[in-house]
Amino acid sequence: MLQSVLTDHCYPDKALKTLTMDLGFYISRFYTKKSTEDHAEWFPMDYSPNITTEEWLALLADKRVFNTKSLKIMKRIKDCGGMATCKQLSEKYGNNPNYYNSGSSALAKRVAETTECPLMTSHNDNAKWWPILYVGKHADKDMAGNYMWKLRDELSKALDQFDLSEIPLYEEEPQAKISQGKEKQGYWWLNANPKIWRFSDIDIGETQRYTLYNENGNKRRIFQNFLDAKAGDLIIGYESYPVKQVVALAKVLEESDGEYLYFEKTEGLVTPIDYATLKNCPELEKMEYFQNPQGSLFKLTKEEYDFIEDIIREENPITPKENMEAYSKDQFLEEVYMTEERYETLISLLKHKKNLILQGAPGVGKTFAAKRLAYAMMGLKDDSRIAFIQFHQNYSYEDFMMGYKPKEDGFELQYGIFYQFCQKAANIPDQPFFFIIDEINRGNMSKIFGELLMLIEKDYRGTKATLAYNGMPFTVPKNLYMIGMMNTADRSLAMIDYALRRRFSFFEIEPGFHSAGFQSYQSALDHDTFNILIERIKELNQEIAADSSLGPGFRIGHSYFCGQAECTDEWLKEVVEYDILPMLHEYWFDEPDKLQRWENILRGVFNDER
C-alpha cells in the first residue's frame, strides 16, 4: 500500500528504514495515545460492585429496589444508547437534571443495602454511590451537561432482557393546574426566625397568618413578594439560625389583604434538610434567598422548587397508599388468645392513658399482642403507622431523641427514632400512630427519656418543652400511643423507674390456655399427647403461681405451643426438653426435689401407654 504512493524523492534510503521509524512514531503518537485516553477517561476503572447480569435482573424485578422512578431513568439512559448526561435526559424526556442525579444516587444506595456490594472509597459522599450503576467522564464542551454516565455492562445487558414496555419513556406533560385566564402557580421560600415563631408550632392544616409589616410597622423586605403570592402557591418552610434547616412544606390559602398573608402547613419533615446541603448545589446558586438572606418571603422558580422537593423526598419519601387489609376485634381474639372482656379492658386503658406496658412471663405473647393491638385500634394492618424498637443497657437519649454523632471530621446533630416518629404522627393528626418498645425495663429510663418523662404523659400531650440539645420546643402529639413490653420473670432486671411507672398503665398478659382462641387451635390439632401435655402445663402453672418465691408472673406461656399446623410427639418433646425444663431449672435451682418431680411428670407424658 505504501509503495503505491511513494516516489524516489520521498526517502533517500532504499531500505526505507526512515519510513519505518516515521510510521512507528505516527502510530505511537496518535492512535495508541488516543486509544489510551479513551479508555482512561471513563471513571472509575479500578472499582466494580461485583454484581452479575443475573443479579441485576433479580434487582430490576424487586420493586423495593427499582421503583417506577428508577426504571424510568434506566429506560431513558438505555434509549440514549446507554450513556447520557443528566441535562440531556432532562431536555429530551422531561423532569429537571436533579431528578436523574438524586434518583440515581438513591437507587444505588438501595442496591448497596440489598446486595451489600463493595463501595468505592471517596471523600465525596455522592461519588461513592453512582459508580455502582455507571462509569462516568466529563462531557465534551459542545454537549448539554457537565458529566456523562454510561451504564455498567452487566446492568446494560440485564436491561436488554428486562421488560420495560410498561414504563413511560417521556414524562407526561401535567395538565394545567390553573385554568386559562388565571396566573400560573408561584413558588416561595418562607423564612421563620425560631426565636419568634416556628413551623413546628403550627399544626397540619392550621391556618396561619403572616404580617406584611415588622414590629416597627415598616414594610418587610421584598414587600412585592407578599403582594404577588396567590392562593394555591407552594411554600418551602425554612427555619433560620440556630436551626438552619428546611423543616416543612406549606401552601398559600389566601392572597394578602394588605396586612396579612394566609397560609397553612401541609407537611412537617421527619428528616429536615440542612442549609449547607442546599447551599452547595450549583442548581440553586441563583436562588433569591442565597443572593441576600435578609427578609422573610423569597421567590423560587419552578425548577428551584422541584430541585429542593427532590432532595426532600430523598430523605422523606412518601409512603405509597396500598390496599390495607382490615383488622377487627374478632381477628385479634382469634390470634392473641385473650378473653373478650380483657380485650375491652386493654383497649380502654390504651385509649385513656395513651401509654401502656404489657407485662408477663416469656411465652405469653406480649410482642405479638402489642402489634395486633395497634392493628385493632387502627382497624387496619398499616405498618407505616407503627414503629418498633428494643431497649438495652447502652440505649441512650441520643439514640432515642437526638444527639451529636461523628461525621467525617466533625460532629453532627442527628435526630433519633422517637423524634422522627413524633414528626411523622404530627403530619396526620386524625389517625393513630403506635410506638412499640420491647424490653422496656432493660434500658435506663431516666437516661433515655430525659425531658420526655413529662411530655409523654396524657395531660401534657401537645405541651411544648425546650430540648436540651437544640434549645428548641418539642411536643409529643396527641395521636401517638406508646406500648411497652416488660418481662416479669427475669430476675436480673431492675424494677421500672417510678417516675415513668405512673405515666403508664400496666396490663398483665396471662397464659391463654383457657381462651376460646387457644381451645379452638387445640381442637384443630386433634392430638392426644398435646391435650395431655397442656393439662400438665396448666397444673404446673397453678403450682408456680402459688409459690411464694415466684408467683403468677412466672407462669408458662401458651406461645411455646402455638404456630403449628400439624402436631407431632417429636416437636412436643423438643418444647419440653429445650424450652420448659431449662426454665424450671432457673425457677427451682434451690429446690431439687420439686424440680425432679416436674421433670418426671412432663417427661412421663410421652412414656404413658395409650
- Report the candidate in 98, 125, 108 with the shortest Cα–Cα distance to residue 56: 108
Tell me, what's the pLDDT at 147?
A: 86
Backbone angles phi, psi at 277, to 5 degrees: -60, -45
Those residues of the chain that have pLDDT short of 50 are 32-40, 174-182, 493, 609-610
Tell me, what's the pLDDT at 175?
A: 45
* CB-CB neighbours of 414 under 10 Å: 16
3-state secondary structure 107-167: HHHHHHHHHCCCCCCCCCCHHHCHHHCEEEEECCCCCCCCEEEEECHHHHHHHHHCCCCCC
Tell me, what's the pLDDT at 356?
A: 95
- Report the candidate in 515, 486, 491 with the shortest Cα–Cα distance to residue 501: 486
Tell me, what's the pLDDT at 1?
A: 56
pTM: 0.69
Tell me, what's the pLDDT at 36?
A: 42
Give the pairing type, strands 402-407 and 386-390: unpaired
Condensed to tens digits (0 to 9), the pLDDT of residues 161-197 reads 999 999 999 887 544 444 444 457 899 999 999 888 8
* CB-CB neighbours of 326 under 10 Å: 11
Are the beta carbons of 144 and 85 closer than 8 angstroms?
yes
Tell me, what's the pLDDT at 610?
A: 44
Tell me, what's the pLDDT at 236?
A: 96
* 3-class secondary structure, 400: helix
Kindly list the distances between the CA atom of residue 546 and the CA atoms of 30, 237, 489, 542, in Å, as whole numbers in the listed order.
95, 62, 15, 6
What residues contact residue 506 under an 8 Å CB cut-off, 6+ apart? 356, 357, 359, 486
Q: Which three cell numbers stand for residue 314?
A: 430523598
Both ends of the chain: CA-CA distance in Å?
Answer: 102
Tell me, what's the pLDDT at 144?
A: 83
